[in-house]
Amino acid sequence: MSNTVNNTNFNFPNQKSVYRGKVREVYNINDEILVMVATDRLSAFDVIMPKQIPFKGQILNQIAYKMMEATKDIVPNWLIAVPDPNVTVGYLCEPFKVEMVIRGYLSGHAAREYKLGKRVLCGVSMPEGMKENDKFPEPIITPATKAEEGDHDEDISKEAIISRGIVSKEEYEVLEKYTRLLFERGTEIAKKRDLILVDTKYEFGKTKEGKIVLIDEIHTPDSSRYFYLKGYKERQEMNMPQKQLSKEFVRQWLIENNFQGLEGQQIPEMSDEKIKEISNRYIELYENITGETFVKSDTQNILDRIAQNTVNFLNNFRYSSLKDKSV
């Protein structure tokens, strides 16, 4: 097994604070920029698994970078630089406390709710007569509230978001517009790679100047679900499971081993073989979605590498230049 990134404890120049999420650790630098470190932690059902997945952080970080670059002409984003395979530096933003989930197909959480007999998800109607992995007539947006640490995300309707004052009506309409534009572009990119972008989530924030921008990851296997385009119709007609590239295979394995993050359930043991399999699946998605061969970074002294690359960037970064740049 390669060395992996679990917890970090960096002390960067001008560091103000650090926030530790499920799989990322975010360092506030000078109250102006953020250093986001993508760890190799694996989260499923809002639970962090005990063992890390080699190269997972690098894969997520590099896919997110490539996808932000491929969509910046339609939606502004927070990205400044990627000084290390596991690190993204971006503008400090005030995040909206909702995740904009968009679904093109009846899969995952939506399919599980549908099987329970529910036909309305987050205030949005789902047609009768659908089976798992069928395509919706039009993509549906099913938001979730951002969970505080240790809590599960909560499905919520557009109406509830606005009425509770979580996001204003005017700003929510911008989030909705950006979500549809990004999903449309992501779908086009996936199709060129013979993939289907099934569903995904986007997160947005507001800059100090009040501009709404895309933040965090985008179109990665942690935030998105992909099917192979080839054979999709045949599998649906034969009521066969779809061949997919996403974290769903991890969730399914956990479900088969009697774990869904519920109280009293024990996380099943992941063997070295299973961890290698998961790592290889992440690499497979990277190569399929980007069309490029994945190059494994040097992990011999991975934390030292991350620290050195990030410090070198920060030491050469002019904070005053932020005023001269338009996000």
What is the block-wise mean pLDDT of the chain (327 residues), using blocks of 10 residues? 87 95 94 96 91 95 96 97 97 95 96 97 97 98 76 85 97 98 97 96 95 94 90 97 83 91 92 93 90 95 97 85 43
Contacts of residue 105, defined as CB under 8 A and 6 or more positions apart, other chains included, come to 133, 134, 135, 136, 196, 198, 199, 227
Positive or negative, the Cα torsion across 223, 64, 205, 72? negative
- Tens of pLDDT, residue by residue over 9-39, are 999 999 999 999 889 999 999 999 999 999 9
What span, in angstroms and rounded, lies between the C-alpha atoms of 307 and 118?
A: 48
How many CB atoms are closer than 10 A to CB 316? 8
What span, in angstroms and rounded, lies between the C-alpha atoms of 159 and 181?
A: 21
Q: Which of 172, 167, 223, 217 is nearest to 43 (CA)?
A: 223
pTM for the model stands at 0.88
Q: Which two tokens stand for residue 15?
A: 């560091």
Q: Which two tokens stand for residue 84?
A: 């290390």
Q: Tell me, what's the pLDDT at 236? A: 98
- Backbone dihedral region for residue 216 (phi beyond 0: left; psi -120 to 50: alpha; all else: beta): left
Q: What is the DSSP-derived secondary structure letter of residue 2?
A: -
Q: Which of 256, 262, 50 is nearest to 152 (CA)?
A: 262
Q: Where are the alpha helices (DSSP H) in the chain?
A: 56-71, 108-115, 158-163, 169-192, 232-237, 248-256, 272-290, 302-315
Q: Which of 6, 26, 200 is nearest to 102 (CA)?
A: 200
What span, in angstroms and rounded, lies between the C-alpha atoms of 3 and 298?
A: 9
Q: Are strands 87-91 and 154-155 parallel, antiparallel or unpaired?
A: unpaired
What torsion do the CA atoms of 23, 27, 32, 33 make, to the nearest 10 degrees?
A: -50
Contacts of residue 280, defined as CB under 8 A and 6 or more positions apart, other chains included, come to none
Are the C-beta atoms of 22 and 38 separated by less than 8 Å? no
Cα–Cα distances in angstroms (integers) from residue 31 to residues 104, 249, 306, 324, in the given order:
38, 39, 21, 17
Domains located in the chain, CATH noted: 1-94+168-327 (3.30.200.20)
Counting Cα atoms < 13 Å in the Cβ hemisphere of 292 gives 8
Q: Tell me, what's the pLDDT at 319? A: 66
- Tens of pLDDT, residue by residue over 146-203, are 655 445 678 999 999 999 999 999 999 999 999 999 999 999 999 999 999 999 999 9
What torsion do the CA atoms of 29, 30, 32, 38 make, to the nearest 10 degrees?
A: 0
Q: Tell me, what's the pLDDT at 252? A: 86
